[in-house]
Amino acid sequence: MTSAVWEFCRKLFLVAALAFVVLPIAWMLITSFKVPNEISTTNPVFVPSAPTLDNYRAALGIAIDERDLSITVASRGAGRSYVRSVVTAGVTTVLVVVLATPAGYALARIRVRGRSVVGQNVLFARVLPPATIALPLFAQFSAMRLIDTPAALIALYLGSTLPFAVWTLMAFIGELPIEVEEAAFVDGASVIQMLWRVVVPVLAPAVVAVAVITFALCFNEFFMALIFTRVHWLTFPVQTAAMIGTGGTPWGPMTAAGVIGLVPPLLTLLVGRRYLVQGLSLGAVK
Amino acid sequence: MTLRLTRRRDPRTFWLLTSPTLVILLVVGVYPLVASLWMALNRSQVTGPSRFVGFDNFARLAADPRFWNAIINSLAFATLALSLELVFGLAVALALRRSGRETWLVPVFMLPMLISPVVAAVTWLMLYHPTIGLINYVLRPLIGTPAWLANSSLALPSLVVVDIWEWTPFVFLLLRAAYLGASVEIEEAARVDGAGRIALFRHILLPQLAPAIGAVLLIRGIDVLKVFDTIYVMTGGGPGLSTETLGIYIYRAAFEDFNVGYAAALSYVQFALVIVLGLLFIRRVGRTQQ
C-alpha cells in the first residue's frame, strides 16, 4: 500500500471515530431545543425550526403546563435533585482530598512494617462489586434510619473513591524530591504542618486531578443512589432515569436533562484533563 | 540524620495519617464484604427472621437456569465489549499523531466516558428508537426498521455498542499514554532498516505497548463484569431475560423479589469473577509502584 493511500485511510478512520463519538452528543443537544412534533417524527429534523427552552424548564420541573402534565409530574423537584447531586459530589470530593492526601503521603514515604499490605488492601476496595457492598449496608443503614440521607450516600462514595485517590496521590508523592520535606523536618515542623506547607503546594495539580475525577464519578453515580435514596435525597441521575416510561418517554425534557447533567463532568474535563490519565488508571501505566 | 530516620520509620505517624481512610474502608468495604457472605449463608426475606441454611443458597443457584443465563450474558457482554474496545482504542491511539494539530481530538474523544451512564443510556435509547430513532432513519432503505432493544437477539449487541461508545475513550487514553512513552528512536531505526508497517507494529510497537494493554484489560475487565447502569436504564434486563446480566439479576433478586440471602449469594459469584482479575491487578500495580 502506498503512503498516500495509507494516509487517506488513517484520516478516514479518525473522521469516522470522531463522528461516532460526537454524533450522539450532538443529537441530544439538538433534540433538547426541539418542540415535541419535531422529535416524534420518522423524518428527523436536523435544525429546530423554532428553538425552545421549554424542555429545559420541564427537565428542571419548572414548567407547570397542562399540555405536558405527565412530564412535569415526573420531573417535579428535578432542580432540587440537581443541587443534591452537586452537594453530595462536592462534600465527598472535599473529604476525599482531606483523607487521601495524608494517607497517600504515609504510604509513599513512611517505611514501616505492613505498609505494602495496607496499600494492597486499600486498592482491594477498588475491586469490590457495588452489589456486594450495597446489600448488607442497605439493611444496616435502614436500621440506622440512614436511607434517603446525604450521609449514607457520602459514606458509600467515600468507600468507592478513596482507593483510587490514595493510590494516585501516593504515586505522585513518590515522584517528588524528598529533600524539601526533610528540610522542613529539620526546621522542627510536625508532619501535619509539613504536609500542609510543603507537600500540598507541590502536589496541587495531582490533588486537582483527583478532585475533579472524584466529583465527576460521584455526580454521575447511579447504582448506589438508586438503592439508597428515595425522595428526600433523590439524585439527578436517578431522577432522570425515572422520567423514562412515565406515560410515553418525554424525549425533549430527557435530552434537556442530559445536557444539564453534562455540565459538571464537562467542567471536570476542562479543569483536569492533563491529569485524567494518571488518575483514572491508578498510575498502573507508567 | 537521626531526625530524618525516625520520621521516616515512625509507625505512629503512619497509622495516624492512614487510619481515617482505613476506618472508612473498613466500615463501607470490609464489613459489608463479610456481612454479605453471612447473608448468603442465611435464608433472609423481608418478613420473618432469617435462618442459617449453610450453602443452601449456593446449591439453589447452581440449579437456577436464570443464574446461568445471567452468567452467560455477563461473560458474552464482557468478551464482546472488551475485545472491541481494545481493538478500536488501540487503532485510534495509533492512528492519531503523537503531536501537532490533530491533538485537539484527544479531549473530544474523552467526552463519552465523562458523561453520566444514565445520560448515555437516554441518548442511545433515542438513537435506537424503532420509528423516530436516527439509526433506523439511516438504515431504513437498507434493512428496514428493526426494534434494536426489543429484539431478544439484537438487544445485547446493541447494549455492547453503547458500552463501546462510553469506554473505548478510556482504553484509547491509556494506550495513547503508553504510545507517547514508547521509544521514537527504535521506531525510526527500524523504519530506516526498511521495516514495513505491519512488522513495525508487531515487532516494535506491540512489545512496548504490552504492559499497558495488560493493565487496560484488567481494569476494564473488572468494570465490565460489574456493568449495570446502561442495561438497567435501557432494557432493564429484557426483552425476557435476554440482557439480564449478573448485576441486573442481583438487583432484581434483592430489591424486586426481596430475596436478600439469594441475592447475596449471587453477588458473591460476581465477586469471585471480579476478584480473579482484581488480584492480578493488585499484584501488577503493587509491582510498579511499591
Contact B204, B194 (CB under 8 A): no
Amino acid making up residue A230: R
B170: which chain A residues are within 8 Å (Cβ-Cβ)?
Answer: 280
Q: Is the pLDDT of residue B208 over 80?
A: yes
Q: What is the mean pLDDT of chain A?
A: 83
- Is residue B275 assigned to a domain? yes
On the question of a cis peptide bond just before residue A250, with omega within 30 degrees of 0, the verdict is: no
Give the pLDDT band of residue A92 (cuts 50, 70, 90): very high
Going from the C-alpha of B85 to that of each of B144, B159, B223, B280, the distances in angstroms are: 28, 13, 13, 20
Q: Is residue B106 part of a domain?
A: yes
Q: Give the number of beta-carbon pairs within 8 Å between A and B.
A: 312
Mean pLDDT of A72-99: 84
Q: How confident is residue A159, by pLDDT bands cut at 50, 70 and 90?
A: very high
Average pLDDT score over residue span B128-157: 88
Nearest to B175, CA basis, from B87, B112, B100, B107: B87
Predicted ipTM of the assembly: 0.86
Which of B33, B118, B174 is opposite residue A277, by nearest beta carbon?
A: B174
Residue B274 placed within a domain:
yes
Counted residue by residue, chain B has a size of 290
A185: pLDDT strictly greater than 90: no
Q: Which of residues 73-102 of A touch B (CB under 8 A)?
A: 99-100, 102
Which residues in chain A are contacts of B3 at CB distance < 8 A? 185-186
Average pLDDT, chain B: 86
Tell me if B200 is assigned to some domain: yes
Own/partner long-range contacts of B207-210 (Cβ < 8 Å, ≥24 apart): B208/B178, B208/B182, B208/B183, B209/B90, B209/B175, B209/B178, B209/B179, B209/B182
Q: Is B25 contained in some domain?
A: no
Residue A221 buriedness (CB in 10 A; 0-12 / 13-18 / 19+): buried
pLDDT confidence of residue A285? 39
Residue B236: give its domain's CATH number: 1.10.3720.10
Please give the residue that has the higher pLDDT: either B8 or B219.
B219
Decide if B15 is inside a domain. no
With beta carbons under 8 A apart, name residues in chain B contacting A12.
none
- Asked if the structure places residue B69 within a domain, the reply is yes
Distance CA A98, CA A96 (A): 6
- Report the distance separating Cα A198 and Cα A193, nearest Å: 8
CA B164 to each of CA A18, B81, B89, B169: distance values in angstroms, whole numbers, following the listed order: 14, 6, 9, 9
Is B265 part of a structural domain of the chain? yes
Q: Percent helix, strand, coil in chain B (nearest 5)?
A: 75, 0, 20
**Residue A283: predicted pLDDT:** 45
**Which among A5, A22, A110 is the top mutation candidate for probing chain B, defined by the most B β-carbons within 10 Å of its own β-carbon?**
A110
Pick from A127, A170, A270 the residue to mutate for testing the B interface (most B CBs within 10 Å): A127
Give the pLDDT score at B287. 66
Number of domains in chain B: 1
Residues of chain B positioned with their CB less than 8 A from the CB of A129 = 225-226, 247, 267, 270-271, 274
B239 is in which domain, residue-wise?
30-115+152-288
Output B10 or B94, whichever has higher pLDDT.
B94
How far apart are the CA of A271 and the nearest CA of chain B, in angstroms?
A: 11
Choose from B4, B25, B97 for mutation: most chain A CBs within 10 A.
B25
pLDDT at A162 over 60: yes
Query: Residue B102 pairs with which residues in a beta bridge?
Result: none
User: Which span out of A168-172, A198-202, B31-35, B197-201 was modeled with the highest average pLDDT?
Assistant: B31-35
pLDDT surpasses 70 at B290: no
Burial B182-196 (b: 16+ CB within 10 A, else e): beeeeeeebeeeebe
Cα separation, A33 vs A39, whole angstroms: 10
